[in-house]
Amino acid sequence: MRTAFITGATSGFGEAAARAFVKAGWRVVGTGRRADRLEQLAAELGEAFHGAVFDVRDEAARDAALDALPEGFGEIDLLVNNAGLALGTEPAQAASLTNWKTMIDTNVTALASITHRMLPSLIARRGAIINISSVAASYPYTGGNVYGGTKAFVRQFSLNLRSDLAGTGVRVTSIEPGMAETEFTLIRTGSQQASDTLYSGAGPMTGGDIAETLLWVAELPPHLNINTIELMPVNQSFAGFAVHRE
């Protein structure tokens, strides 16, 4: 039985992935700050799921949770770096520096730190890493500023890990989704109405769509590496260049 360690399993992609991986016969360690949600998931998924409550930015709490993994969950075959967030939609010149730092601390620093922490054991097990980037890594948009920057880091870090890990058997994938209806926009804007308005009529992707993609990547034969996957709902495509006229 293989074990996946999925950060941010209290909502959205991570929660859907926890369900999909357990259903497919994996053991799952699911993480997040909201203990009640992890308890609910544990009640639903049973013995194959272990909830680990910590803030990904808190390295001491993370290491304590890793050291306390129960029998059978300690040998991680797959790290899914999913926990992350956007905060704010303002242009850079109106944005909050506190929000910028929270996004960098969570999406960049914590992701790099947990990867560094788990690399030796992933190498020993010839495991895999799936990082959740975004279309925002490749396509700039007004208000994307630091969020897009953090996701560009995730994409490029993933590709560079591939280079460094050549010959170890460890696989690395960057998943780059577009619009998906989760709690993402509620967290970003603080408004359920803004979230509902954004997704209304757009046919957004769901957590389940991303979970199926993650499972497909994870279960490919060990000689295959998917480097990147960019995916969008059919109703989302590209805008042209913006031109400001004096």
Chain residues that interact with ligand NDP, rule: CB under 6 A:
8-14, 32-34, 55-57, 82-85, 106, 132, 134, 177, 179-180, 182-184, 187
Spatial separation of the C-alpha atoms in residues 56 and 67, rounded to whole Å:
15
Closest to ligand NDP by CB, 84 vs 127, is: 84
Using CB under 6 A, count the residues that bind ligand 8X3.
6
Q: Using CB under 6 A, which of the segments 99-107, 110-118, 130-138, 212-220 binds ligand 8X3?
A: 130-138
In a 10 Å sphere around its CB, with 0-12 CB exposed, 13-18 middle and 19+ buried, how is residue 70 labelled? Answer: exposed
CB of 150 to ligand 8X3, least distance (A): 10
Confirm or reject binding of residue 143 to ligand 8X3 (CB under 6 A).
Answer: no
Residue 94 dihedral angles phi and psi, to the nearest 5°: -115, 5
Spatial separation of the C-alpha atoms in residues 83 and 62, rounded to whole Å:
13
Confirm or reject binding of residue 41 to ligand 8X3 (CB under 6 A).
Answer: no
Please say whether the beta carbons of 189 and 179 come within 8 A: no
Catalytic (active site) residue 139: no
Confirm or reject binding of residue 154 to ligand 8X3 (CB under 6 A).
Answer: no
CB of 109 to ligand NDP, least distance (A): 11
CB of 222 to ligand NDP, least distance (A): 26
Q: Which does 182 bind (CB under 5 to 8 A by kind): ligand NDP, ligand 8X3, none?
A: ligand NDP
Residues known to be catalytic = 147
